[in-house]
Amino acid sequence: MPIAPSSVSEAPPREKGRNTAPLEGRRDKMRRQGKGVILCLVAFLLGRYGRRGVSHLWKGVMESLVIIVVMFFVGFLIAFQGAVNTALARMLSHPLHATFVSFLSGTLVLGILLAISGINFPKLAQLVKVPKLLYIGGTLGVVYITCVLMFIPKVGTARVAIAGICGQIVFSLIIDHYGLMGIPVSAVDAKRVFGTLLVVAGLLVINLK
């Protein structure tokens, strides 16, 4: 006896890979950025605790856990500051306008904190005795913030932040090794160099396409 064809039509097979390329691309990018962040964290731990030896690493981490957590969230603020200042520059039509407003607001906040805390402003005699080279800190800040405002719209916050961290770590090793600007001498060793290379590797991983 012939079997009657089923009245329920079979659903057409789903097309494999349809509209999944953009999602997979985003996931792959997030994985690469995650690896880069992990490399940077490992590099920080090696640079901070490498001289104590691996056996004391865990103890050192626990002793400085509060500092690490605080600085981790301060890093959030730095990245957020770059994004906020970039949006400000877009509204004010020029990065230097945003840099000026950023430093002006920071100066006002510092003045209020000094007034509230009761800390006296430095005397003129003290300011005169300060070596002129030490007054370039504000100028360096202007260069940094302006560059951040110019480059974040072009390459993104993560790349700018990691590149800045790489430069900070490399030059920090030089400052520590030679004791520049009166900083206590801390000779560069293989572990600190290896940690720095991990940070650079993290930057390269984040920039992979």
Instruction: Locate the domains of the chain by residue range.
Output: 28-207
Q: Tell whether the model's pLDDT for residue 24 goes beyond 80.
A: no
Q: Using pLDDT thresholds of 50, 70 and 90, give the confidence band for residue 104.
A: very high
Full-model pTM: 0.60
Q: Using pLDDT thresholds of 50, 70 and 90, give the confidence band for residue 8.
A: very low
Long-range CB pairs of 95-98 (<8 Å, 24+ gap) are 95/146, 95/149, 95/150, 96/146, 98/145, 98/149
Phi, psi of 110 (to 5 degrees): -65, -40
What is the pLDDT at residue 64?
64
Mean pLDDT along residues 23-49: 69
Burial letters 126-138, b for 16+ CB under 10 A, else e: eeeeeeeeeeeee
Q: Using pLDDT thresholds of 50, 70 and 90, give the confidence band for residue 100.
A: very high
